Copies of this chain bind each other. A is one copy, B any other.
């Protein structure tokens, strides 16, 4: 089963509702145990990243859940905050789509995963970055004017 495709499908839903199209699923024993897409725009909260939402989702399904054997599939490299968050919950492994050249904590800006969890980037990165391109080319109506249109790199 291709879990990055599940994450991309969630990111497309985010795009459809005017949300930053970044999403993830958390997988354990071959099953999705938590999922989420960004809610930064709709909640007007810069910290509502999909990683926090998916972990909260997993905990709401099973409060005793442990993430030590869990794998995260996320369409964009976790930011510095989320990279450290993933370390704190002791995630086992992260697969991510496109790189996050501005805030990435899994290699692009900092290497917060090193010695903590395995991280592999560039999975379906073209699909992932294309969703972000569509979002930012249209312009984020909820962002401040100078942030409405972003030019995306690699």
Interface window among A26-34, A79-87, A121-129: A79-87
Q: What are 17 A-B pairs with beta-carbon distances under 8 A?
A: A45-B59, A46-B88, A46-B89, A46-B90, A47-B55, A47-B85, A47-B88, A47-B89, A79-B84, A80-B80, A80-B84, A80-B112, A81-B81, A81-B84, A81-B85, A84-B84, A110-B110
At the interface, is chain A mostly helix, strand, loop or mixed? loop
Chain A residues in the interface with B (C-beta under 8 A): 44-47, 55, 59, 63-64, 79-81, 84-85, 88-90, 105, 110, 112
With a CB–CB cut-off of 8 A, which chain B residues contact A59? 45
**Complex Cα–Cα for A55 and B45 (A):** 11
- Give 11 A-B pairs besides A47-B88, A47-B89, A80-B80 with Cβ atoms closer than 8 angstroms: A46-B90, A47-B55, A79-B84, A80-B84, A80-B112, A81-B81, A81-B84, A81-B88, A84-B84, A84-B105, A110-B110
**Complex Cα–Cα for A68 and B136 (A):** 25
> Closest Cβ of chain B: how far from A92's Cβ, in Å?
15
